[in-house]
């Protein structure tokens, strides 16, 4: 039987987040502040996001951001998530290419959204935020943030 699922070992879970903007030859246009029409500054985002996340969001030069140990520790409860070989899709497309997909449905909240929610809750807690609130559509983001905020 062909192997279909591939896993990283716990000690292989990434220790840094990759910032694609640093490698873009043409940088994206800056976000505009809807009140002023000017490029958003870090401080403009402080009422909504943790300051460290504002810094990371607007940074276009640093390729990597260290993942805090506390966040990595939480990741180990459900990561690594399986990388799955899509043999059926390869056959349907009649391609010699190997196609894989990441199955994030195995996380406690059933989606990839916990990966970001844990970081956001961590930085909010570090800055002394006592409550977080959010909107959610189908409920995955709300569930992820609720799960993360309990930490």
Tell me whether residue 99 is in a domain: yes
Tell me whether residue 11 is in a domain: yes
- The model's pLDDT over 75-114, given as tens digits with 9 standing for 90+, comes to 999 988 999 999 999 999 999 999 999 999 999 999 999 9
Domain count, the chain: 1
Q: Do residues 16 and 64 touch, judged by C-beta distance below 8 A?
A: yes
Longest dimension (CA), the chain: 60
- The model's pLDDT over 106-128, given as tens digits with 9 standing for 90+, comes to 999 999 999 999 999 999 999 99
- The model's pLDDT over 19-72, given as tens digits with 9 standing for 90+, comes to 999 999 999 999 999 999 999 999 999 999 999 999 999 999 999 999 999 999
Tell me the pTM.
Answer: 0.86
Tell me whether residue 132 is in a domain: no
Tell me whether residue 134 is in a domain: no
Tell me whether residue 59 is in a domain: yes
**Would you state the pLDDT for residue 148?**
96
Tell me whether residue 69 is in a domain: yes
Q: Which of 113, 111, 110, 105 is nearest to 145 (CA)?
A: 113
Q: Which residue range forms the structural domain that includes residue 16?
A: 5-110
**Would you state the pLDDT for residue 10?**
87
- The model's pLDDT over 60-76, given as tens digits with 9 standing for 90+, comes to 999 999 999 999 999 99
Tell me whether residue 26 is in a domain: yes
């Amino acid at each position: 039987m062909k192997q279909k699922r591939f896993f990283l070992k716990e000690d292989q879970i990434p220790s840094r987040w990759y910032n694609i903007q640093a490698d873009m030859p043409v940088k994206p246009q800056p976000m505009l502040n809807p009140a002023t029409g000017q490029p958003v500054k870090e401080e403009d985002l402080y009422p909504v996001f943790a300051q460290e996340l504002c810094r990371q969001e607007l940074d276009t030069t640093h390729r990597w951001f260290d993942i805090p140990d506390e966040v990595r520790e939480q990741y180990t409860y459900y990561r690594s998530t399986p990388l799955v070989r899509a043999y059926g899709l390869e056959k349907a497309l009649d391609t010699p290419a190997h196609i894989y997909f990441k199955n994030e449905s195995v996380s406690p909240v059933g989606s990839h959204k916990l990966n970001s929610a844990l970081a956001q809750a961590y930085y909010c807690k570090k800055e002394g935020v006592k409550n977080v609130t959010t909107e959610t559509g189908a409920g995955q983001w709300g569930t992820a943030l609720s799960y993360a905020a309990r930490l």
